Amino acid sequence: MKTPATLALLLIAVSPSVLAESRTAITCGHVFDAPTGTLRGPGTVVIEGERITELREGISTDGVARVIDLSTLTCLPGLIDDHTHLMMESSPKTSVERTRLNSSDYAFRSTVYARRTLMAGFTTVRNLGDHGGMDSIALRNAINTGLVIGPRVYTSGMAIGSTGGHADPTNGLNQEFAGDPGVAEGIINSPEEAAKAIRVHYKAGVDVIKIMPSGGVMDEGSSSENPQLTFEEIHALVATARDYGLTVAAHAHGKEAIRRAITAGVDSIEHGTFLDEETLRLMKEHGTWYVPTISAGAYVAEKAKVPGFYPPQVARKALEIGPQIQATAGRAYKAGVKMAFGTDAGVYPHGQNAHEFELLVGAGIPASYALQTATVNAAALLHREKDIGSLSPGHYADLIAVAGDPLKDVSVLRSIQFVMKSGTIYKESGHGVVAGD
């Protein structure tokens, strides 16, 4: 039985004035409705703590003590990049740095890259592949505890591949440095080693698995598209990952590697340069996601023309692969393949992620769908659609704002005016603010 004193305390706990003090209202000139891909008129996002509690039509601040006025701007959910590399950023020095820098050097740099990414309006990323270690797990944890400013990170740690393949961290080094990396470094050469590699990654605390079924551009191997994992190895990777509740992203340029990865059951194909009618049909049949990363392709093709920017082998492959990815993305959209947003940031400078929207539109993809790839679709690929990707009640209070209409001009997403992640403001009026000051 409740005493009068207890009842009084309960009334105080739920009184309108107390509730108002705990709420923040953000008034928006327009609101992007991610689930429908449409731009709505004025709206008010009500936030309590880390989560959105209401999305009101029009400007309505009743019962709210704190109001943030973005009524001249367009509000969108925090953007999601499902293919980044926060532990690196390529440059003409990359090859030399591989023999000179330690993992702590890359870790310190990653804090700068993470902050740039958040300030660019990307409140969540999937980090797919560390530089020869698992340091992105520590970065993720530091962001989660507030020690470092950055986006919400779901990371794979090291990518998993074969000896001498795209994932081999010693590929291209002389014999003194190369050695023979094994499972502990993400290098496998049998289904049995594949299963153990997943378990090693699970033990380290990864959120997702990244595998390398094909050659790539940024290593010094001769082929960017040859198959580098057998079907049996890929199947063992996927089956073991499923046992541990982990999704699998597959880097794949060549058709045969793509075919093996799809039929083995991976969740997403990254890059997918040589996707054709057959493999696009397989993706639809299996429900496989496609993450194009057009930005990286365009960037490496441009820099490959600069003498000395890349080693000759990398430059040659960049010119072969880079210019093709945009057209592939257009074909995938027309074929009805599910698409999620990813840029391969780290191959090009961090913080420029939004340029991908312009390249998607240039591939013949409507701006509304391009935005959906970076919101509801990217959240679905992460299996986090109940938490991120939409300005909906119950979701994290991840909100960005831009001047103008991104459905008419997606380039406005390069100039983010406001960034909030989990109810904390990191950018106002186009300028970063230090949380907690």
For the chain, give every residue range classified as CATH 3.20.20.140.
79-381
Q: How many CB atoms lie within 10 A of CB 199?
A: 14
Q: What is the CA radius of gyration of the chain?
A: 23
> What is the per-residue burial (b if ≥16 Cβ within 10 Å, else e) of 133-142?
bbbbbbbbeb
Contacts of 173-182 with C-beta under 8 Å, sequence gap 24+, read 173/98, 173/99, 177/99
Q: Which CATH architecture has domain 79-381?
A: Alpha-Beta Barrel (3.20)
For the chain, give every residue range classified as CATH 2.30.40.10.
14-78+389-432
Alpha-helical runs (H) found in 244-338: 255-264, 277-286, 294-303, 312-321, 325-335
Query: Could you tell me how many helices (H) and strands (E) the chain has, helices first?
Result: 16, 18
Q: Which two tokens stand for residue 392?
A: 């909906």
Query: 């993809």: which residue's tokens?
Result: 365
pLDDT by 10s per residue, the chain, length 437: 445 444 444 434 445 555 577 899 999 999 999 999 999 999 999 999 999 999 999 999 999 999 999 999 999 999 999 999 999 999 999 888 877 888 889 999 999 999 999 999 999 999 999 977 899 999 999 999 999 999 999 999 999 999 999 998 887 777 767 788 889 999 999 999 999 999 999 999 999 999 999 999 998 888 999 999 999 999 999 999 999 999 999 999 999 999 999 999 999 999 999 999 999 999 999 999 999 999 999 999 999 999 999 999 999 999 999 999 999 999 999 999 999 999 999 999 999 999 999 999 999 999 999 999 999 999 999 999 999 999 999 999 999 999 999 999 999 999 999 999 999 999 999 998 865 43
What's the fold here for domain 14-78+389-432?
A: Urease, subunit C; domain 1 (2.30.40)
Q: How many CB atoms lie within 10 A of CB 416?
A: 21
**In which element (H, E) is residue 72 found?**
strand 66-77
Nearest CA to 213 out of 255, 254, 252, 265 is that of: 252
